[in-house]
Structure 1
Amino acid sequence: MELVRERDFEEPFSVPQFVEDLTSQVLREPDGKKRDEDRIDTRSLLEAFERSIDTLQGMSEKTSRRVEKLSKVCQEEERKYYSSVSQVEKGVSQAYHHFQELDERINGVATKVVHLGDQLEGLNSCRSRAENARQVMQFFLEFFQSEEPSSVIFVDPSQLHKAAEVIQKLNFLCQDLPNKFLDVKMRIARKYVEIERALLQEFEASHVAGKISRMKMCADALVQYKDYNKCVRSFINHCQKGAFQSGDLFEEMYKLTGQVCDLVKSVFPSPEPVADEFIQDLFERRLQHHVTEQLSAARNQEGYLATLFTLYTKTQKVASRLEEFRHSSDSAFLTRLTQSVFLPHLSTYMKKEEKFLQERYSQLLAGYYDSVGLHRPKGGGGFRFKKGEGGGSRPGETFISDDVATMMLHENKLALKRCTSLSSAADLCANASVIFEVLLDFLCFRHLDNAVDLALAALPSAEPKNMPEISLFPVISQLSKTFNLLDKHFVDNVVPLISSSPVHAECLHKKKEVSTQLEKKMDSGIDQALTSLVGWIKHILSSEQKKSDFKPEDTVSSTAVATAACHRACEFLDTQRQIVSGCLDGKNRIATLMELGIRFHRSVVDHIQQFTFNSIGGIFAICDANEYRIIVKKFEMPFLSHLFEVLYSLCNLFIVEPKNLKQVCSEEPIAFLEKSVVLSFIQLRIDYKSSRLAKYFAI
């Protein structure tokens, strides 16, 4: 039995698996069953392995011989391959050398061919020039020998274009001839004009008939003639016949230009200049006439400016749209045309804009002041009420018109919009500044400032005898709203135009000056108003408070309340608090209420210092102090509340038993006060001397 075969070593090969298979073959029974372990014949197993090893050695020697033989064959094949590759390289090198020689020969032949072609072309050009010269001389001889040439090209209308070419050459030739050929030169000149006129007539007739090819032939012939521009002018004039009938000039300009530019490309050898000349004619004739006519029809300055803005804006839009029909490198062409049309009007625009705003604002203010019965005396000075229109003030009237302010801001916004379009880039910032300054002058100085002056003049005295009506607070409220609108207008409409210019800082400074001036007047007025209000409170307290209120004879009832003078003062104070809170806002409201509360506190303290109090009167004083404390809490200011809390505690000193006085004074909030202040209240007790209270409270 053959134990080892060559196929056992085919991939994949595993040595352990090979040994296992070999062992299984040796130990297998003749019937193919596996032999039991106790029946294994080790000798036969050893012999089998020895035979297998001998077989493997034989196979190894056989395989080595085959490998050696194949290696020799491979070396021989490699040698042959290298030899063939070397021969191929030599062949390629020789072929490359031959190709180089062939390329040099081809280049040499091509050079000779080009040179020969140049010689032939030169000869042909010379022959053509000679032939043309011969023909020109023949035609010149005809003009020299007779008044009219006899050649058929000058007689047959169908050969007009050939005649045009010949007469053009003859006319060029005549420029260098001496005066002895003057007669010939004149005959040629007459024929030149005659043919040129015939070409123009044919061009116009072809244009009317819509024969584009004939138009192109005529234009090509006329381009060398002196009056070629007549052909262009004729074309432009004919294209505009019957146009501009719809009433919308700008839309018709766009549509007509598109149609004409397409035709120009098909007719003229150089279409760009012709298209530009057509557009220029539209601007300088049609558009300029339309602009002048529309502006002349304006009834007033407002209509003039609105019309100018509308026309200029529409012109810019149509100029932008017309760019699509142009192929010239001159990008500023349409801009120059627009400026040339509007230059007479733009040069005076800003003066008219400023004058219109001044007149418009003056009309608005005059109409408003007339409606409220105010007028300014011819001799100057502030506003006065007309006769029969009332005294120096009107309750509830602020003399600031929201409608006037809104209309002024609207007119200024429109003016800035016009300014943006109608001003040059160099003048835009300065013009916008002028427009804004006109608004500041009329709205702030001539309207808001006048209202503040009227409110200041109407302020009551520091010691009024009648209940004061302060119109300044509503004026400040309305002025603040108007100034907020002015600030918004400045940010939204003015700043975008001047932000990149030094004019921005100047406008901010001027607006700040106006604001500061008004604030100074308002601060002064608020001070006077508070003085009048506190003066009226003092008048109430001094006129209605009786000394017996704090030294009553009878005992106090269980329902002790604040005095009548205190009630009236508190009602008036609360009314004024509501007015100030409703009219002022922000820091102005806080500062004004704080100052009013402090002055009220001072006046109450001064008022209390004028009286002496028995124990029952002290209870009424405490009730008054409590009423003041309740009213002041509505101010919602901790400092003021603290002042009146302290006042309430000081009033409690009027009813404290003498023996407890020192202890009470050592408690909060009295303990933090100066002793002189506390003593000034203790001295108001009716028993201050009789009870020798000074010994309980020594400074």
Structure 2
Amino acid sequence: RMASAELFEDPFDPIEYVERLAWRTHGGGTKGGAQGFNPQVNYHDCFQMLRYWRQHILHMFHISCHSSADALWNRICSNVARDALKQLSGRSFPICFSVMIIPLFYMIIPLFHMILPLFHMILPLFHMILPLYFDEFLSGEFTSEAFTNPYRVHDAADIVHKLHLIAQELPYDRFAQVKASIVSKYHAIESELLNEFREAHKNNEAAKMKELASTLSHFKGYQYCIDAFIDESIENSFYNRNEIFSEIINLCAKVHKVILCVFNAPEQVMGKLVAKIFQTKLSEHVNGKLREHRSTDPEKYLQHLHKLYGQTVELSAKLSQYKLASDSNFLNKLTKSIFKNYLQTYIQVEESFLKEKAMLISQRFYDSKNHTKKQLHSGIQDLKAVISDKTSIRFGSSSSPDSNARETYLSQELAINLLQETKMGFGRCKTLSSPSKLPLHASCIFQLLLDFLCQQHIEYAIELGLLAIPPTEPKNEPNIYFLDIVQQTNTVFHLFEKQFADTLLPLVSASPSYSDCLQRKKKIRERMEVQLDTGIDKCLSSVTGWMRHVVRNEQRKSDFSTDQPPQEQYTKACQSLCKYVKKVITAMSGSLDGNNVDAVLKEFGSRFHRLVYEHLQQYSFSSMGGMMAICDVNEYGKCAQLLKIPFVNSLFESLHSLCNLLVVAPENLRQVCSGDQFSNLDRAVLHTFVQLRSDYRSARLAKNFS
């Protein structure tokens, strides 16, 4: 009774059930203790009975389900079978069976979710159908609706696909004919599906395309379906040759939506579409543009190569949003495949073009100046330069430029043109060179800039200017236009250094070429500085020589030996010299800048002071002559103040103080020489100046220094 069904009338609770068993079991109470409680012995039969009873209930439930399934099957088949039998009089059993089962099968499939319990009955029936279709291939007569109804092409495709797989396992010698028939039908249906797919694509029927693509996915020609889709998409999609990149972007955006709807693997299909576009339309466009100018116009060729490659890289970046294929370098490989041959020879074309362009720019400039470049580095030229510098011998204008022409043969416009061409070259180099070759290629372009701008233009102009500097003892007023060369060299080299820092260094940073380029620039800068310093020194020597010539020719001894009071504020020689000094100061201030102008003016001021000092040492001064010398030195001091160099001003102040010794009364000379204004001067210098007095011996002034 304890294991009977009455315990299961209410919801079954296993804990409560065990408690009931324990309560009714002998020994379950306190009597007899724990040893008296043994439910396994007392209720073993009850548990066995419960197990059999539950198995019986499950068996009856299983029979009930099968009965319900059979009833449902009979209700579904009754009408279809009745109509089919009316049409089957006189036909063979396999054909009759197939005609009955196939329509029934395709009627059941839409209701599959409703009749899932009957699937184990339907599947064996379907396997029985395939032999029936195989029988049609054996007889060569296709009578079933799947093959005769053009609207059942998807059903026929599914049947033929399965038969094709089965036929591959059959021996060829016995089933050669039927296998050939199945293969023929296989290709015919495949071709029909592909044609329908093309038509659906032309008509923009995405749903039909999806259905056809799904059916074709089981066929070997599925790839032809994808190819057909890609070909139809590309065909008649490119109209403007100059807008091909925007057209590619628009086409991919449009087709991507269709691919997502139609195909099961959209990334792969999209990848094949892009690959086909790159390998056909884009490649044809690039090759057509580049081959047109490759051998005839290197400049346009490089411009087109740079532009097309940059646009292709930009296009690849935009197309990467579609996650094409599985290779992260897929688009990069496609780009390289188009431009590979052009990129391999890029730097050679670039160097050749820049050389020709630089030569053309340079030659155009020198032609405008009616100048033919000379070979300046020769032993004879060097010897002539040394002789001209050390003596008054001149070798004529055939070996040096016209010193009166003031032509520097330096052109800021030429420098800007060269810098602009190389800047565009650096830009192309950055785009078209691989990261590993970029520093080397940039270094090659930089060397061209050094050769044509720094060496063949700037240094050539400096060397011409050096040859044109007058000697240290000129007979005519020297033309110091070399200072203009210094100014223009500073301007041009500043532009060169700016491009070096802004354009070149970012391309060669973190590579051995970085230090190499710095060293090459430093070397040529130092070489130019030495040449410019040499030229400036020669200019100062020539200017000082002419100043010496002026005072020597115009200064009379009577200017300083007369006993008559001065009639003018300064002598004629002082007037002429100051006029020339002011002219030189103006030229130097206008031609030099920065620290250069201060250094040169200081050196010029020092030489000016030394010239005046040495000039005064050549004369004997009377009392009135000493007054005239003081006036001249005072005027020289005013002229020196234009230099705005404190050191030079102090030199002329000291010279003015020394000139006062020429007019001091003999009895006051010792006291004046001991004054503070002469504390920094050696007494030998004071003594030398006192010796210039005409009364030095008569007044016995030497005793003041003994």
**Residues 99 and 524 of structure 1: is their aligned pair in 2 closer, same or farther, counting only changes over 3 Å?**
farther
Q: What SS does the corresponding residue of 2:662 show, helix, strand or coil?
A: coil
Q: 1:285 is aligned with what amino acid? A: T
Q: Is the 8 A contact 1:419 1:431 kept in 2?
A: yes
Whole-angstrom distance in 2 between the partners of 1:293 and 1:256: 22
- 1:555 corresponds to which of 564, 581, 591: 564
Q: 2:425 is aligned with what amino acid? A: A
Q: 2:574 is aligned with what amino acid? A: C
Whole-angstrom distance in 1 between the partners of 2:489 and 2:377: 24
Matches within 5 A, 1:79-478: 130-143=124-137, 145-180=138-173, 181-247=175-241, 248-298=243-293, 300-326=297-323, 329-377=326-374, 391-478=401-488
Whole-angstrom distance in 2 between the partners of 1:409 and 1:98: 100
Shift of 1:428: 2.5
- Which structure has the larger Rg over C-alpha atoms? 1
Shift of 1:288: 0.7
1:496 aligns with 2:489: no
Whole-angstrom distance in 2 between the partners of 1:243 and 1:467: 79
- 1:533 corresponds to which of 543, 557, 571: 543
1:688 aligns with 2:696: yes
Number of residues paired by the alignment?
585
Q: What SS does the corresponding residue of 1:291 show, helix, strand or coil?
A: helix
Shift of 1:465: 0.7
Q: Is the 8 A contact 2:267 2:322 kept in 1?
A: no
Structure 2 match to 1:651 = 659
Q: 1:222 is aligned with what amino acid? A: L
Q: Is the 8 A contact 1:409 1:439 kept in 2?
A: yes
**Residues 97 and 408 of structure 1: is their aligned pair in 2 closer, same or farther, counting only changes over 3 Å?**
farther
**Residues 611 and 99 of structure 1: is their aligned pair in 2 closer, same or farther, counting only changes over 3 Å?**
farther
Q: 1:307 is aligned with what amino acid? A: H
Structure 2 match to 1:61 = none
Shift of 1:390: 10
Whole-angstrom distance in 2 between the partners of 1:489 and 1:167: 73
* TM-score (ref. length: structure 1): 0.78
Structure 1 match to 2:574 = 566
Whole-angstrom distance in 1 between the partners of 2:14 and 2:164: 63
Q: 1:277 is aligned with what amino acid? A: K
Matches within 5 A, 1:12-27: none
Q: What SS does the corresponding residue of 1:577 show, helix, strand or coil?
A: helix
Q: What SS does the corresponding residue of 1:696 show, helix, strand or coil?
A: helix
Moved more, 642-651 or 542-551: 542-551
Whole-angstrom distance in 2 between the partners of 1:526 and 1:127: 112
**Residues 165 and 579 of structure 1: is their aligned pair in 2 closer, same or farther, counting only changes over 3 Å?**
same
1:619 aligns with 2:627: yes
Q: 1:647 is aligned with what amino acid? A: L
Structure 1 match to 2:491 = 481
Output one character per residue of 1:276-332: Cα deviation in whole Å (capped at 9) or x when no partner: 111111111001101111122335211111111221222222222223344655443
Shift of 1:548: 1.9
Q: Is the 8 A contact 1:658 1:696 kept in 2?
A: no
Structure 2 match to 1:522 = 532
Q: Is the 8 A contact 2:400 2:468 kept in 1?
A: no
Q: Is the 8 A contact 2:623 2:663 kept in 1?
A: yes
Moved more, 471-480 or 391-400: 391-400
**Residues 588 and 377 of structure 1: is their aligned pair in 2 closer, same or farther, counting only changes over 3 Å?**
closer
Q: Is the 8 A contact 2:400 2:467 kept in 1?
A: no
Shift of 1:220: 1.3
**Residues 98 and 424 of structure 1: is their aligned pair in 2 closer, same or farther, counting only changes over 3 Å?**
farther
Shift of 1:490: 2.1
Q: RMSD of the alignment, in Å?
A: 3.0
Structure 2 match to 1:579 = 587
Structure 1 unaligned runs (5+)?
A: 1-93, 102-107
Q: Is the 8 A contact 2:661 2:669 kept in 1?
A: yes
**Residues 566 and 98 of structure 1: is their aligned pair in 2 closer, same or farther, counting only changes over 3 Å?**
farther
**Residues 349 and 650 of structure 1: is their aligned pair in 2 closer, same or farther, counting only changes over 3 Å?**
same
- 1:664 corresponds to which of 667, 672, 680: 672
Moved more, 397-406 or 266-275: 266-275
Q: Give identity over the alignment, percent.
A: 37
Q: 1:359 is aligned with what amino acid? A: E
Q: What SS does the corresponding residue of 2:444 show, helix, strand or coil?
A: helix
Whole-angstrom distance in 2 between the partners of 1:470 and 1:669: 37
Shift of 1:148: 4.9
* TM-score (ref. length: structure 2): 0.77
Moved more, 290-299 or 583-592: 290-299
Whole-angstrom distance in 1 between the partners of 2:490 and 2:283: 48
Q: 2:546 is aligned with what amino acid? A: W
Q: Is the 8 A contact 1:395 1:469 kept in 2?
A: no
Shift of 1:137: 2.7
Whole-angstrom distance in 2 between the partners of 1:257 and 1:197: 27
Moved more, 525-534 or 669-678: 669-678
Whole-angstrom distance in 1 between the partners of 2:511 and 2:376: 41
Output one character per residue of 1:408-428: Cα deviation in whole Å (capped at 9) or x when no partner: 222222222222222222222
Moved more, 305-314 or 360-369: 305-314
Structure 2 match to 1:505 = 515
Whole-angstrom distance in 2 between the partners of 1:258 and 1:99: 69
Q: 1:673 is aligned with what amino acid? A: L
Shift of 1:95: 9.4
Whole-angstrom distance in 1 between the partners of 2:266 and 2:17: 52
Structure 2 unaligned runs (5+)?
A: 1-11, 20-53, 63-68, 70-114, 382-396
Q: What SS does the corresponding residue of 1:374 show, helix, strand or coil?
A: coil
Shift of 1:647: 1.0
Matches within 5 A, 1:13-92: none
Whole-angstrom distance in 2 between the partners of 1:99 and 1:292: 89
